[in-house]
Structure 1
Amino acid sequence: MKTLDVSYEAMGARTARFDDYAEAEREGARADAVRALWGGQLVALMGARSTRGRFADPRVPSPARACTGYAAWDAGRGSLPYRNPDAMENILCLAGTLRVRFGPDLAHEIRLGRFDMLSIPADVLHEVSCHGAEGAKALMLLNGAPDCAYPAIFPGPLPAAIEARELAALNARVEPGRGREADPDTMAQRVTRFATLVPYKRALNARSAIPAEATEWLTASSVFPLLVPDGHLGRSQDAPLKGGPGLYVAIAECVPDDGPLPHAHFDTQESFFVLDGEWDITWGFEDEYRLPVRACDLVGVPTGAMRAFRNTGKETARLFVIIQGQERMSDTVVYSPKVGEEVKRRFGPEVVEAFRKVNITFDAERA
């Protein structure tokens, strides 16, 4: 399979640096409207150029079925109650503690600690707030249809100072009704707790007889799938959460000086959001390009490009991996034939065949 060449300049244009966006959009009518509605700061990070709503005008392009934004709250601040009528909202806590109240009467709540994630179904009324004295940060991923406009519906009333033009730009509006019922036990099952995640190398070993050490040699030290599309088959099918088409997310964890071998995705875009530590994102058939990244930086690697990443720090660190595609995505991962020969030598030809059955192949070709 032919890979894609990507210049250093092109990859730089697909990168959002925390130092650049963290202070963005803090002043002006839009920022005032966001603070009035969501209680803090929202920054559009990644999405299709046609994305509408609160994450319009994203810094990094991606396929149309999902968009990603950064959120930050000061201590004690939080959103008004709202619902997403036609999109699932996945909230990953980056720092601090988040309290999410939900249901028509907001009678139930879930608290999220660092790197915990909650997946909220469409049309569930909820509010998100910082629960603690240090402030809180989150990554928000909305998942809807390709033409989803990502509206936010508030039961009202809204602060009178919000300008109508800004409400329209955020695709926010007031409507009667308080959304669908949300069973608290079902919602509790839509939380992933970082402390209890299981790496997929164990599942592959149990299901496909692929040695855990073979998976670890090819990939990161540990990859923890969080959410995959309902009905997804492949190496991450045992993820604890099932979502809509076109979005798969995971946490990759590496010890110092570790990372996957260069590989390409051929029907999806893979993006890396740095959770902690110091990393190099590398790409090119010979891994010849290098981009150093730090906490809360985001890099969107285009479909077909060979890529890898490496923990360059002194402690175990983590990336949030966002894989996006269209209605049905096989998420085939392709390594070079040379890597396939080494897998055969180390682990046997039957392991090469077992990898093929979970959409990991060894036939990448130079562009």
Structure 2
Amino acid sequence: MTTTKNYEMEIRTVSPQQMEQRVARFKSLKYPPDRYPDSLLPGHERRNYLVVGQGLIVDGGKDPMSAIPIEEGFQMSYVEAKPGNGPKLHNHDTNETFVALKGRWRVIWGLNQEHSVDLDPLDVCAMPPFVPRRFINLEPGAGSEFGLLLAVQPGNVAKCEFM
């Protein structure tokens, strides 16, 4: 990668080989079944694919499950789940933005899970920091047994507390 300063902002040149390291192919994504402590519990089973960012740092290196293990101020994940499944109630120190990609999803918030909003494909919900939240798949995507949700969080590593 080379850098020039002919403009007000820095301009970088990236080779196709360098850019290929920053491309994630959905069919090649991996997920550890036990990435989160609740992901194997009935009603909470899901596949969490860390696409961009650092989730778990192993031995001081990069997250082995991250498709694009960069530290550029955000994390992006896909979550696949069958209807009725999603994480337990949890809290983050950051915003968490959800985009329903396939199927219908319910985003639930509040200590008593007293509020919710349903998302159809391409609907977006931006949950503020420090608001207990969870989400569940309501209906799978067409022709699939899973729904697909995109989750984006600012920061290189968000703190999470399960309740």
Which TM class, normalised by the smaller chain length?
0.7 to 0.9
- Report if aligned partners of 1:200, 1:225 keep a CA contact under 8 Å in 2: no
RMSD over aligned CA atoms reads 2.9
- Report if aligned partners of 2:47, 2:79 keep a CA contact under 8 Å in 1: yes
Greater RCO (Cα-Cα under 8 Å, separation 6 or more): 2
Corresponding residue for 2:40? 216
**Corresponding letter in the other structure for 2:30:** V
Corresponding residue for 2:53? 228
- Report if aligned partners of 1:221, 1:254 keep a CA contact under 8 Å in 2: yes
Q: Distance in 2 between matches of 1:242 and 1:122?
A: 21
Q: Distance in 2 between matches of 1:122 and 1:259?
A: 43
Q: Structure 2: 5+ residue runs without aligned partners? A: none
Aligned: 1:321 with 2:151: yes
Residue deviations 1:305-325 (CA, integer Å, cap 9, x gap): 111111111431111100113
TM-score (norm 2): 0.77
Corresponding residue for 1:332? 159
Q: Relative to 1, partners in 2 of residues 1:311 and 1:247: Cα closer, same or farther, differing over 3 Å?
A: same
Q: Relative to 1, partners in 2 of residues 1:273 and 1:188: Cα closer, same or farther, differing over 3 Å?
A: same
Q: Distance in 2 between matches of 1:220 and 1:249?
A: 19
Corresponding residue for 1:187? 19
Matches within 5 A, 1:56-67: none
Matches within 5 A, 1:116-155: none
- Report if aligned partners of 1:220, 1:253 keep a CA contact under 8 Å in 2: no
**Corresponding letter in the other structure for 1:277:** G
- Report if aligned partners of 2:104, 2:121 keep a CA contact under 8 Å in 1: yes
**Counterpart among 181, 186, 196 of residue 28 in structure 2:** 196
- Report if aligned partners of 1:247, 1:323 keep a CA contact under 8 Å in 2: yes
Q: Relative to 1, partners in 2 of residues 1:330 and 1:190: Cα closer, same or farther, differing over 3 Å?
A: closer
Give, in angstroms, the shift of residue 234 of structure 1.
Answer: 4.6
Q: Relative to 1, partners in 2 of residues 1:234 and 1:180: Cα closer, same or farther, differing over 3 Å?
A: closer
Corresponding residue for 1:40? none
Q: Structure 1: 5+ residue runs without aligned partners? A: 1-120, 124-174, 205-211, 337-367
Q: Distance in 2 between matches of 1:200 and 1:284?
A: 28
Give, in angstroms, the shift of residue 334 of structure 1.
Answer: 0.9
**Corresponding letter in the other structure for 2:40:** E
Give, in angstroms, the shift of residue 240 of structure 1.
Answer: 1.9
Give, in angstroms, the shift of residue 122 of structure 1.
Answer: 10
Give, in angstroms, the shift of residue 299 of structure 1.
Answer: 0.6
Q: Distance in 2 between matches of 1:222 and 1:122?
A: 37
Q: Relative to 1, partners in 2 of residues 1:293 and 1:313: Cα closer, same or farther, differing over 3 Å?
A: same
**Corresponding letter in the other structure for 2:48:** V
**Corresponding letter in the other structure for 1:297:** D
Aligned length: 148
Q: Relative to 1, partners in 2 of residues 1:234 and 1:264: Cα closer, same or farther, differing over 3 Å?
A: farther
Higher share in helix: 1
User: Between Structure 1 and Structure 2, whose CA radius of gyration is higher?
Assistant: 1
- Report if aligned partners of 2:50, 2:76 keep a CA contact under 8 Å in 1: yes
| SS at structure 2 position matched to 1:185 | helix
| SS at structure 2 position matched to 1:242 | coil
Higher share in strand: 2
Corresponding residue for 1:307? 133
TM-score (norm 1): 0.36
Corresponding residue for 1:284? 110
**Corresponding letter in the other structure for 1:320:** L
Q: Distance in 2 between matches of 1:241 and 1:324?
A: 15
